[in-house]
């Protein structure tokens, strides 16, 4: 993934390319009211387990970003991992309703 940034060098502005590696794991789950297909889940009540898609496991929870719609969630405030490392499930501290999205990305 390449993006552009404007940097200040002395008194001159320069346009610089910044390259970042894509996440090694990225899944988006859409919440649907009924009949979930691939990449979809049914509504989830707060505290119920959500299993990471694709049989993914997480050893270092600091390497994972979880988003609800467009909001980046914070561990312990918005969600909690279940069990001991490596983790395969987490719970949310709020309900997921139809038309919500959960995005899960491994950052390294």
What is the mean pLDDT of the segment spanning 86-102?
96
pTM, two decimal places: 0.75
Q: What are phi and psi of 63, to 5 degrees?
A: -90, 5
What is the mean pLDDT of the segment spanning 55-77?
91
Q: Judge contact between 24 and 108, C-beta under 8 A.
A: yes
28-60 residue pLDDT tens = 999 999 999 999 999 999 999 999 988 888 888
Enumerate the domain spans of the chain: 23-106
């Amino acid at each position: 993934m390449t993006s552009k940034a404007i940097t200040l060098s002395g008194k001159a502005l320069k346009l610089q390319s910044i390259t970042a590696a894509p996440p090694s794991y990225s899944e988006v789950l859409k919440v649907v009211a009924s009949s979930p297909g691939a990449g979809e889940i049914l509504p989830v009540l707060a505290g119920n387990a959500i299993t990471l898609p694709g049989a993914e496991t997480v050893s270092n929870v600091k390497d994972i970003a979880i988003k609800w719609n467009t909001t980046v969630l914070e561990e312990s405030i918005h969600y909690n991992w279940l069990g001991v490392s490596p983790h395969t499930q987490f719970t949310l501290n709020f309900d997921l309703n139809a038309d919500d999205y959960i995005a899960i990305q491994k950052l390294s």
